[in-house]
Chain A
Amino acid sequence: MTDERRALRVPPRHSWVLLPLLGALLLALSACGGSAPPAGDGATGGGGASSGAPAATGDVIAVGEFGSMTGTTAAFGTSTDHGVQLAIDEINAAGGVLGKKIKVYLEDDQSKPEEVPAVVSKLIEQNKVVALLGEVASSRSLAAAPLAQRAKIPMISPSSTNPEVTKKGDYIFRMCYLDDFQGAAMARFAFNSLGKKKGAILQDVKNDYSVGLAKFFSDEFTKLGGTIVGNERYEEGNTDFRAQLTKIKSTQPEFIFVPGYYSEAAKIAKQARDLGITVPFIGGDGWESAKLFEIGGKSVDGSFYGNHYFAGDPSPEVANFVQKFKERYGEQPDSMAALGYDAAKLLADSIKRAGTTDGDALRKTLAETSGWQGVTGTMSFDENRNPVKPIVILEIKDGQLALKESMKP
């Protein structure tokens, strides 16, 4: 019995004094995690919020941004962030909003839905943000929406297309079209414009986005009179699609609809070409990324996908934005960046229109947005806080994007 006592090596007695003190210290530090070491001057700001001072009455307006900076969809998060930062810097350079500068607090959710509650509640409680910008992926927006709704903080998702997201509450908005519109539009495009009557689908069952899009596409396509000859599945993160592609090949489709994200879509295209499949691919806005070309190379040539905007659009709004983005980041902005830019600009504009950062007033002003001009088009929110916007369909020719068609809802 006494052996157990010896196993506990006891430190000398006078050090025991320190133990409760250290314990109290730890408790205190974690409890006052809300008041992180001081945000000295307002402009540079501290990492945590200054204790007790609601961000709007300081000299900054705190806006929270959360996205996938690392992980499987890292390109989406970083792209969106670039767009947001560009917009915020432009706004701040022009004097800010309501006489104050906007400060963006960025949190990374590592492309995982389970990280979302922690980062979102941190932004809301620790950084005391007045609004949230995020997320790109519908599954992560779905995880965040209840928290934003409960805390009465308006949340604008730049590019979550799943219809469920805005149904979570009246504080949730989005900047992009919905999957039911996108799926149906792509189906009409395939049937009418490309004249294809038989197609196969290869969907990502891990994401609401992909499954929803696949369903809306196949519903509309069959309604128009086409047939879906093959329907295979994969999961985001898979690397080998040869089994599914071989199966699809045997059904001899005229095209393959791949409503997934760019990383898998590129690999699918490559492996399909390796297997001798020559028919074109059709995709959704999840394809939008420079990495699509990096990974897919020549295999994505001749494919089409639906998108929110076209970087080669000659209109002054778009051209201006593209040029400024290129100057700052050295690369062409993709639609995530464009939507992030628009979301940030819309938010700032709404704060200005509302005259306050109060959650309820901001929400009302946002909901009343009508005819607002952004890089991704002119938009108004409908009664479900979804924008009414056209979809552009892009064609990939020799590693470049070209505008094929634009469809209105």
Chain B
Amino acid sequence: MSDLLQHLFNGVTTGCILALIALGYTMVYGVLKLINFAHSDVFMVGAFMGYYGAHSLGLGKGAERFDPLRVGLIFLLSMAACGLLGFLNEKIAYRPLRHSNRITSLITAIGVSFFLEFGGQMVFTANYRSFPEIIPKTHLSFLGIEATNYPVIILVTAVALMAALSYIVYFTRFGRAMRAVSYSFETASLMGIPTDRVVSITFVIGSTLAAAGGVLYALNYGEINPLMGVMPGLKSFVAAVLGGIGIVPGAMLGGLLIGLCDEFVVYFGLPSSYQSAITFTILILVLLFRPAGLLGKHEPEKV
């Protein structure tokens, strides 16, 4: 029983990080109907910015005590940097193609993703770097689960960010504009909503969340490298689709489910090399049988 709980706990932790990334995918798809492949690499850049931030703020060898100011600064720096990256990405690569067909945008998105990944390899070198423990690690033990304080921090931070996002999306004017744009781009612009700005800010917010996810992921695994975004990116994309792409709570739900799924593949005795296959099978099943996702509403294609 206790290892079931342990598996659950592990799954929820990774699921939260996946949810943070999935939110970016889902929001961008909502407003632009574009799958932003480059999002996973923004996540990677966030982790690297956190790494460099930690080193420049003196936490390069890990922290002795918990220093909220510096840790907060690290998060803010990386989030700001990635927000800028997301903004530039949209402005340079996606906006000119707003009115071309979807495949062109898809190809461009893939191109940007590979550019960031392999460009990252050239700039950051392909080596794995260890991420410093910017928050001192302590061991916790409860309900038969062995863990450190890291999963708790991750949970708390992720939930806080998701709550903040939900507040923005559902309770502010800007959020209403975002939802309007995702419902119908043309009508929203007719209603006087500055669609370009809404789209840009959506990208910024999504990238910010991905950056936070990146730093949390780096903390969790202690290591970063330029290709670290590939698998988490694919998994969180599946999560976004599973929950209903374009729907914010859907991304959160999907993230948790996929995180748990990975854990349970091993729990039920399958070798862990099947994890990817199962994740993708879920993706395909969802797209075939319920393309709108778990929380989505099915809309017939209009001609």
The answer to whether A235 and B223 touch (CB under 8 A), given A242-B10, A243-B266, is: no
Residues of A284-304 contacting chain B, CB below 8 A = 291, 294-295
A161 within 8 A of B: no
Q: Does B184 contact A (CB under 8 A)?
A: no
A-B contact pairs, 7 of them (CB 8 A): A71-B126, A235-B272, A235-B273, A239-B221, A239-B223, A246-B266, A274-B146
- Whether, in the assembled complex, A247 has its beta carbon less than 8 Å from a beta carbon of chain B, the answer is yes
Is A270's beta carbon under 8 Å from chain B? Answer: yes
Set of chain A residues within 8 Å of B267, measured between Cβ atoms: 243, 246-247
Chain A hits for B141, CB < 8 A? 276
Give the residues from 202 to 255 in chain A that come closer than 8 angstroms, CB to CB, to chain B. Answer: 205, 232-235, 238-240, 242-244, 246-247, 249-250
Which residue on chain B has the smallest CB distance to residue A293? B130
Interface residue A70 (Cβ < 8 Å from any Cβ of B) = yes
Specify which chain B residues have a CB less than 8 angstroms from the CB of A275 in the assembled complex. Answer: 6, 146-147
Residue B139 at the chain A interface, CB threshold 8 Å: yes
How far does the alpha carbon of A41 sit from the alpha carbon of B171 in the complex, in Å?
A: 74
Q: Is B271 an interface residue (CB 8 A)?
A: yes
- Nearest-neighbour CB distance to chain A for B272, whole angstroms, equals 6
A291 engages B126 (CB within 8 Å): no
User: Would you call A75 an interface residue if the criterion is a C-beta within 8 Å of the partner chain's C-beta atoms?
Assistant: yes
CB-CB < 8 A to B101: which residues of A? none
Residue in A72, A234, A243 whose Cβ sees the most chain B Cβ within 10 Å: A243
B:254-278 near A, CB below 8 Å: 262-263, 265-267, 271-273
Are B266 and A244 touching (Cβ within 8 A)?
Answer: yes
Name B14's closest neighbour in chain A (CB-CB): A240
The answer to whether B272 and A234 touch across the interface, beta carbons within 8 angstroms, is yes
CA distance A242 to B267 in the complex (A): 11
Q: Tell whether, in the assembled complex, residue A70 and residue B222 are in contact, meaning their CB atoms are under 8 Å apart.
A: no
Whether A70 contacts B125 by the Cβ 8 Å rule is: yes
CB distance from B10 to the nearest CB of A (A): 4
CA distance A242 to B13 in the complex (A): 11
In the assembled complex, which residues on chain B have CB atoms less than 8 Å from the CB atom of A235? 272-273
Give CA–CA (A226, B262) in the complex, Å: 31
> How many Å from the CB of A43 to the closest CB on chain B?
31
Cβ A295 vs Cβ B126 within 8 A:
no
Measured CB to CB, the closest approach of chain B to A112, in angstroms, equals 11
Q: How far is the CB of A288 from chain B (nearest CB, A)?
A: 16
Whether A80 is near chain B, meaning CB under 8 Å from some CB there, is no
A242 to B263, CA, bound (A): 8
Once A205-B271, A267-B222 are accepted as A-B contacts, the answer to whether A274 and B3 lie under 8 Å apart by CB is no
Residues of B within 8 A of A110 (CB): 126
- Bound together, the chains give a CA A247 to CA B228 distance in angstroms of 25
Given contacts A234-B273, A295-B222, 8 further A-B contacts (CB under 8 A): A110-B126, A205-B273, A232-B271, A243-B10, A244-B272, A246-B267, A267-B221, A276-B139
Task: Tell me the smallest distance from the CB of B81 to a CB of chain A, in Å.
Answer: 23
- Measured in the bound complex, the distance between the Cα atoms of B258 and A145 in whole Å is 42
Q: Answer whether residue B179 sits at the interface, using C-beta atoms and an 8 A cutoff.
A: no
Residues of A with C-beta under 8 A to B272: 232-235, 238, 243-244
Question: What's the interface size class on A, roughly?
Answer: 20 to 34
Contact for B7 among A75, A246, A270, CB less than 8 A: A246
In the bound complex, how far is the Cα of B227 from the Cα of A110, in angstroms? 13
Q: Quick one: which of B111-131 are within 8 Å of A by CB? A: 121, 125-128, 130
**Neighbouring A residues of B271 by C-beta, 8 Å:** 205, 232-233
* B281 cross-chain contacts in A, Cβ below 8 A: none
Q: Which residues of B contact A407 (CB under 8 A)?
A: none
**What chain B residues lie within 8 Å of A233 (beta carbons)?**
271-273
- Ranked nearest first, the 9 interchain pairs of A and B with the lowest CB-CB distance are A276-B146, A243-B266, A70-B126, A242-B10, A233-B271, A239-B221, A250-B3, A295-B130, A243-B263
Say yes or no: is B148 at the interface (Cβ < 8 Å to chain A).
yes
Say whether A157 faces chain B, with CB atoms less than 8 Å apart. Answer: no
Q: Which residues of B contact A239 (CB under 8 A)?
A: 221, 223, 228, 231
In angstroms, Cα B128 to Cα A291, docked, is 9
Nearest CB in chain B: distance from A70 CB, A? 4
CB distance from B217 to the nearest CB of A (A): 8
Q: Are B139 and A263 in contact (CB under 8 A)?
A: no
The residue in chain B whose Cβ has the minimal distance to the Cβ of A205 is B273
Interface string of A13-26 (1 = CB under 8 A from B): 00000000000000
Does A74 count as interface, using CB distance less than 8 angstroms?
yes
Q: Which residues of A contact B228 (CB under 8 A)?
A: 239
Q: How distant is the Cα of A116 from the Cα of B6 in the complex, in angstroms?
A: 42
CB neighbors of B among A252-273 (8 A): 263, 267, 270
Write the nearest CB–CB distance from B216 to chain A, whole angstroms. Answer: 13
Query: Quick one: which of B121, B125, B130, B147 has the most chain A CB within 10 A?
Result: B130
What 1/0 flags go to B44-65 for Cβ under 8 Å of A? 0000000000000000000000
Interface set, chain A 53-79, CB cutoff 8 A to B? 70-72, 74-75
Chain B's closest residue to A74 (CB) is B127
Contacts of A263 in B (CB 8 A): 128, 223
Judging by beta carbons under 8 Å apart, are B221 and A240 in contact? yes
Tell whether A246 pairs with B273 under 8 Å between CB atoms, given A239-B223, A276-B141: no
Determine the distance from Cα of A110 to Cα of B228 in the docked complex, in whole angstroms: 16
With a CB–CB cut-off of 8 A, which chain A residues contact B266? 232, 243-244, 246-247
For the complex, give the distance between the alpha carbons of A249 and B228 in Å.
27
Contact code string B198-210 (vs A, CB < 8 Å = 1, else 0): 0000000000000
